């Protein structure tokens, strides 16, 4: 049996959205299990992760810009010597009906959720193709499969991420690169901060409607993401792994 505490020894990962609940949990978990991590976020708070572990270096930038994706991969290669894992986790959401949504609203969601995932996957694929190995995990949502009113842009982006990931899996297979989606349900994070008065409580209450009867904690989703990224999942690619408390099983 493998030693999970050293499972990612010698591996180098990029984690986007690392200032948030899930991204921070993933960055810490990977570092705890031996990985070197480039933790990226548009928020300067991501720099706090460097105090958590000397295995973590941080990058602040807008992930929807090509230069940020290039900088992230370059930092991994130059600082740590390789790139083995990419976790596209950064996400943004708004609640607005399609009829009331401006083009700027639409672009703001698609830029973070989809454009950023494309750009980082593209740059990572280049490095991983040269190395002939790699694992990409894109964080989707149960909105890959189900829809709710007022999340048109978010649902469109998450659905597109599922399809993009399948293409990455097909294009990467001959180069030893796997690509999978982890699709969570409600998680108690700050993603709704500034959108609803008490975002964490909103998510906790909405999570009660899942068969499991509660929302997830970030660390629970981080475990699923880590499994999809690791060698124990070596035969899994192009998969959409639901981690939604059974919500889409109903």
Q: Which residues form the catalytic set?
A: 154
Distance CA 21, CA 141 (A): 15
Strand bridging mode 12-16 / 85-88 = parallel
Contact 40, 18 (CB under 8 A): yes
Pairing of strands 134-139, 85-88: parallel
Judge whether 147 and 130 are in contact, CB under 8 Å: no
Please state, in angstroms and rounded to a whole number, the distance separating the CA atoms of residues 65 and 92: 15
Helices then strands, each counted (H, E), the chain: 7, 7
- Please state, in angstroms and rounded to a whole number, the distance separating the CA atoms of residues 104 and 219: 33
Instruction: Tell me the C-alpha distance between 161 and 155, whole Å.
Output: 10
C-alpha triplet 28, 72, 19: angle, nearest 5°: 40
């Amino acid at each position: 049996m493998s030693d999970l505490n050293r499972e990612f020894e010698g591996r180098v990962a990029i984690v986007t959205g690392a200032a948030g609940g899930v991204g921070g949990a993933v960055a810490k978990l990977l570092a705890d299990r031996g990985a070197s991590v480039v933790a990226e976020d548009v928020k300067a708070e991501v720099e706090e992760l460097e105090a958590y572990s000397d295995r973590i270096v941080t990058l602040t930038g807008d992930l929807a810009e090509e230069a940020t994706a290039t900088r992230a991969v370059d930092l991994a290669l130059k600082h740590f010597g390789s790139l083995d894992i990419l976790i596209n986790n950064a996400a943004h959401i708004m609640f607005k009906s399609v009829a009331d949504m401006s083009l700027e609203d639409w672009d703001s969601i698609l830029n973070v959720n989809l454009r950023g995932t494309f750009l980082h996957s593209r740059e990572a694929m280049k490095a991983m193709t040269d190395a002939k190995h790699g694992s990409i995990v894109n964080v989707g949502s149960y909105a890959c499969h189900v829809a709710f009113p007022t999340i048109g842009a978010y649902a469109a982006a998450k659905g597109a991420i599922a399809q993009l990931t399948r293409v990455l899996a097909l294009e990467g297979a001959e180069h030893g690169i796997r690509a999978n989606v982890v699709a969570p349900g409600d998680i108690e994070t700050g993603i709704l901060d500034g959108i609803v008065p008490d975002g964490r409580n909103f998510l906790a209450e909405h999570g009660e409607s899942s068969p499991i009867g509660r929302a997830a904690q970030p660390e629970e989703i981080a475990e699923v993401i880590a499994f999809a990224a690791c060698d124990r999942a070596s035969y899994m690619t192009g998969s959409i792994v639901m981690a939604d408390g059974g919500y889409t099983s109903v």
